Amino acid sequence: MTVKKIAAGLCCFAVLAMGVAEAKKLTIKNLPVDAFQGVDADGNLDGGNFTGFVKLSLNLKTGKASVSGKAVVPNLSFTKVTFNDEDFAGIGDLISDKYVVAKNGRATYTGKYENVSL
């Protein structure tokens, strides 16, 4: 299940529960997501889907969101690798993002989006 699908359901629930006039910001923590990718021996993304946990913060008035997450993935290059502007979350217009996989396989993701449509 993608971040977009899970967040859309939770966002709809939050808006209904709080009322549209009162809803300003939605934060979802420890959301399990199968979207983290490992690194192959050449230092490229391997296209796999590994489970990690994500925090999603969405400003319902401006349509801007930030996403951050952590996971442990295979890193067959055994070197720290950084990928910028890959748009892993795909929830709106990408402002910036960074996906870093340490040599031991600890992966972190941070991204900022605008015009978010869930």
Question: For the segment 52-76, what is each residue's pLDDT rounded down to a tens digit?
Answer: 999 999 999 999 999 999 999 999 9
pLDDT at 82: 96
Partners of 97 in the beta sheet?
111
Contact between 111 and 91 under an 8 Å Cβ cutoff? The reply is no
Cα–Cα dist 58/60, whole Å: 6
**Structural domain of 66:** 3-114
Q: What is the count of structural domains for the chain? A: 1
Q: What does the alpha-carbon distance between residue 117 and residue 110 come to, in Å, rounded to a whole number?
A: 18
